[in-house]
Amino acid sequence: MSNLLKVSSSPHVRAKDDTSRIMLYVILALMPTTIFGVVNFGLRALLLVIVCVLTCVASEYLFEKAVGKKSTIKDFSAAVTGLLLGLNLPYTLPVWQAVLGSIFAIVVVKMLFGGLGQNFMNPALGGRAFLVISFAATMTHFEYDGVSGATPLQLLKNGDTVNTLDMLIGRTGGTIGETSALCILIGAIILILLGVIDLLIPGVYILSFVAFITLFGGHGFDTTYIVAHLCGGGLMLGAFFMATDYVTSPITPAGKVVFGICLGVLTGLFRIFGNSAEGVSFAIIFSNLLVPLIERVTIPRAFGIVREKKTKEVKANE
């Protein structure tokens, strides 16, 4: 009998996307950034990234083995976490610190809360936050061409001038993956074309951030200043690769807008009024924590359903 006449319950059409395929797309999209980082900073950067990926995958495997769960390393999500964490480290970081950060990202931030889909914040950024708090000295020590110096954002904060073309291409100091806005944008275009991410969260994030620094940056609408802020630090990497994490971003369209505005305003606050020059990772982590609340207030009304009154909701909850 032909398939046409077969009777079955829905769904009838299945997309070929599954977790591992999407994760592979993300890894593919991160390749330009990774390759540029290795070219820019040398083989030590490659070593760190590989160590992070391997540690993340191994700790996910060992944790699941220890608690008797089915291994999920084949969905590549641990590899993506490791890659993102590696790209978020300065290339001079001692290897044992990178290993600890990876273990923390997978075991504490991801697996203890129930694994992929249950983590309350982006594991890579959780690992990065752990490292920044624990090893402040090595995590904020940046070298470029063997010379240690301030990142463009720190220069910008001190009121010095920066070369925006270098920042766009990535010929500056910083973490392995954050320097080249160009490579990140290439990766972002790949992801958007493949339909893995949509532009809503990064778009709102970047626009609200631009609005914030125009209002409070003290330079008005100065294009050079704004471009420098956009290309500097982890903003591009965070906006396209970490704020769009399915698990830790809202799924409602209105929620995505709210989430993006939160990110933009917080990043601006941290960068301009905070002590440190960079604030993308903490802005994303903090907004991750707000996601359940944002989703709660932005659930769209289903067609034909009359909005219930609040007193009824309370009863239903009981």
Partner 1 sequence: MNKYIERLYNGLWKENPTFVLMLGMCPTLAVTTSAINGIGMGLSTTVVLVLSNMMISALRNIIPDRVRMPAFIVVVASFVTIVQFLMEGFTPSLYESLGIYIPLIVVNCIILGRAESYASKNPIIPSMFDGIGMGLGFTVGLTLIGMVREILGNGSLFGATITPLNNFHISLFGLAPGAFFVLGGLVAIMNVIRKKMEEKGKPLPAAQGCLAGDCSGCTLSSACKGKSASEAVESLGKGEDK
Are 176 and 90 in contact by the 8 Å Cβ rule? The answer is: yes
Q: Determine, following the binding rule CB under 8 A, whether residue 282 of this chain makes contact with partner 1.
A: no
Q: Determine, following the binding rule CB under 8 A, whether residue 13 of this chain makes contact with partner 1.
A: no
Q: Which residue has the tokens 């990774």?
A: 34
Minimum CB separation from partner 1 for residue 109, in Å? 12
Using CB under 8 A, pick the residue from 66, 95, 136, 251 that binds partner 1: 136
Total residues at the site for partner 1 (CB under 8 A)?
8
Q: Determine, following the binding rule CB under 8 A, whether residue 130 of this chain makes contact with partner 1.
A: yes
Q: Determine, following the binding rule CB under 8 A, whether residue 135 of this chain makes contact with partner 1.
A: yes
Q: Determine, following the binding rule CB under 8 A, whether residue 62 of this chain makes contact with partner 1.
A: no
Give, as ranges, the residues between 86 and 125 that touch partner 1 (CB under 8 A): 96, 100, 108
Are 276 and 151 in contact by the 8 Å Cβ rule? The answer is: no
Are 91 and 45 in contact by the 8 Å Cβ rule? The answer is: yes
Minimum CB separation from partner 1 for residue 115, in Å? 18
Phi-psi sector, 162: left (phi>0), alpha (psi -120 to 50), beta:
beta
In terms of CB distance, is 130 or 270 closer to partner 1?
A: 130
Segment lying near partner 1 (by CB under 8 A), choices 39-47, 76-84, 127-135, 207-215: 127-135
In terms of CB distance, is 135 or 259 closer to partner 1?
A: 135
- What percent of the residues of the chain are helix, what percent strand, and what percent coil, each to the nearest 5? 65, 0, 35
Q: Residues 6 or more apart from 168 whose CB is under 8 A from it? A: 180, 181, 182, 227, 231
The 10 Å Cβ neighbour count of residue 24 is 15
Q: Determine, following the binding rule CB under 8 A, whether residue 63 of this chain makes contact with partner 1.
A: no
Q: Which two tokens stand for residue 257?
A: 């807008």
Q: Which two tokens stand for residue 146?
A: 């063997």
Minimum CB separation from partner 1 for residue 135, in Å? 7
Q: Given the rule CB under 8 A, which residues bind partner 1?
A: 96, 100, 108, 130, 133-136
